[in-house]
Amino acid sequence: MAQFENIKNLLEQSVKLRKTIPTSNTPLHKINKEGLSETQINDLFERIISESTQHSLRMMGHMDTQPFDEAVVADAIVSKLNNNVLFYELSPIATRIEMYMIDYFCQKLSMSDGFGIFCSGGSIANITGLFAAAGGFQNQQTRSDIEMFVSEAAHISIKKAATLIGIDNVTVIHALASGKIDIEQLEQAVKNSDVKTKIIIGTVGTTIQGAYDDIPSMIKIAEHYGCWVHVDAIYGGATIFSETHKHCMDGVQYADSVSLGHQKWMGVPRVSGICILKDKKQMDQRLAMDVPYSVGDQMNLGTWGIQGSRRADAITLWITLCAKGEKFIENWVDTAIEKTHTFYKMLSEDENFEPVHQPEMNLQLFRPKKQVDMLTAHKQLTDKGQEWVSLSTWKQEPVYRAVILHPDTQIENLSNVLDLLKQ
C-alpha cells in the first residue's frame, strides 16, 4: 500500500494545467529482471503524467474529458477489489448495483419492460445491440436475409458491427448538413427492401456534429415496414437528465435496443457503456447463454451479452451519480449546450471563421472563411499546447471540430482557440 500513499500528489499533478497534447518521445524504461524502488516508480508515474494528453478545460477536440474525482476514487477501488460481474459470487454488491443501474436507466428511458447489461465501451454496446437485432445467439437465418440502414453520420462502430456479424447488406443513408439522417431517403430505402430482417440505426449525438436523428419518424417507418430500431445514444444519452434537452431522446422509448455511454458525458473513466433491450424476453431469447462454470440460485450477469469477465463499472457510475446528483448532470448538459450556442453566434460574427452547422448539442464544426492550409494551421495549434480543437472531415471537406464538454470550459477558451488558429 505504501506505493499508493503518493497518489493524491500524483492526481493533483495530473490536473495542473500543462501542455494539452505533449510530444512523447523519451525512451521507455525497459522491463528488467528486478523491479523498481518506490521512488523510481514515482518517477515513471510523473513521466506518464507529463507525456499524456490533458483533458483540461482547454481540451475541446473530442468527446473525452476529465472524470470527476468521486469516479476516479471509485474506479481505483473497483480495480483493487477486482470483482467480476460474470458471477454473483465474484461480485455480490456489484451485481446488485449493475441491476439497479440498468433498472434506473430503463425507468429514465421509459422502457419499463427493458433489461440490459454494462459493456466495455460504446462500440461493444452497439455491437451487442446489433447482434441482438440480427437474432443474437438464437439466429437461425442466413445473414443475406438481413439489411442494415445507417446514416453516413453514424459512428464507425456500426460498420464494425455489420462486418463482425456478417451483414454485407448495409445501405448508407444521406445525412443533412445538420448531421441528421435524411428521413425521406431512409423511408424510400426501407420501402424498396425485400429482406426479412431490416435494422434501422439512429443516433442521438452524432460523433461529428452532435446531431440527434428524428427517432419518432424512424419508429413510424419501423412500425410500418417491420424493422428493428437500434439507437446509438452513446454520446447524447446524457440529455435524458435535462428538462430542456431531453427532447433529443424523444422516441427512444419505442426503440428495440439502445446504447448509452456514460464515459463521455456522465463523468466516469473509460471504458464503459450500456446496452438495453426494450423487451427483457428478447434479451433472454437473443442475448442469453448458460455459463456452466458456476451453478447456484443467484442471478449471474455473465448469462447475457457477448463479453465474458467484466469490470464492476456499474459501481463507478453509481457512486458518481449518487455523489453528484442528477441536477448536477442536468446543469452540465444545459450549460455545455448553452456555451456551444454562444460559440456558434461568435463564429457567425467572426471575420476569419464561419460555423458549418447550427449546433444541436455541444459540438460545433467550423472552418476558415479564406482558403488556408488547415492541416498546417492545426499542427501549429497542437504545438502551441493550449486550447485545442480537432481537425475532422465532413463530406470529404476538412473542418475544425469543437466539443465543449469540460464543465469548466469558458467562452474565453473558445475565443482563444480562434485566436490561436488565426494565421
The residue ranges that bind ligand PLP (CB under 6 A) are: 63, 121-123, 126, 155, 157, 203, 205, 207, 232, 234-235, 261, 271, 273
Residue with smaller CB distance to ligand PLP, 162 or 418: 162
Place of cell 441491476: 99
Write down the least CB distance from residue 414 to ligand PLP, Å: 21
How many whole angstroms separate alpha carbon 55 and alpha carbon 64? 7
Helices (H), 109-170: 122-133, 156-165
Beta bridge partners of residue 353, listed in sequence order: 368
Name the minimum Å distance from CB 170 to ligand PLP.
16
Q: Which residues are CB-neighbours of 25 under 8 A, at least 6 positions away?
A: none
> Closest CB to ligand PLP among 238 and 414?
238
Question: Nearest distance from residue 123's CB to ligand PLP, in Å?
Answer: 3
- 363 with 333: CB under 8 angstroms? no
- CB nearer to ligand PLP: give 404 or 418: 404
Nearest partner of 306 among 126, 145, 168, 162, judged by Cα = 126
* Residue 207: CB minimum distance to ligand PLP, A: 4
Q: For residues 149 and 141, what is the distance between their CA atoms, to the nearest angstrom?
A: 19
From CA 161, how far away is CA 146, in angstroms rounded?
13
Whose Cβ is closer to ligand PLP: residue 63's or residue 418's?
A: 63
C-beta closer to ligand PLP: residue 83 or 157: 157
Which residues share a beta bridge with 259? 232, 275
The DSSP output letter for 238 is G
Q: Report in angstroms how near the CB of residue 63 gets to ligand PLP at its nearest.
A: 5
| Shortest Å, Cβ 203 to ligand PLP | 5
Q: Which of 69, 106, 85, 124 is nearest to 314 (CA)?
A: 85
Closer Cβ to ligand PLP, 56 or 126, answer by number:
126
Residue 250: burial class (beta carbons within 10 Å; 0-12, 13-18, 19+)? middle
Q: Which is nearer to ligand PLP, 54 or 157 (CB)?
A: 157
Bond prior to 403 in cis (omega within 30° of 0)? no
- CB atoms under 10 Å from CB of 341, counted, come to 15
Residue 287: how many CB atoms within 10 A of its CB? Answer: 24
Q: CB nearer to ligand PLP: give 261 or 269.
A: 261
Least distance (Å) between residue 121 CB and ligand PLP: 3
Place of cell 426479412: 196
Q: How far is the CB of 78 from ligand PLP (least distance, A)?
A: 18
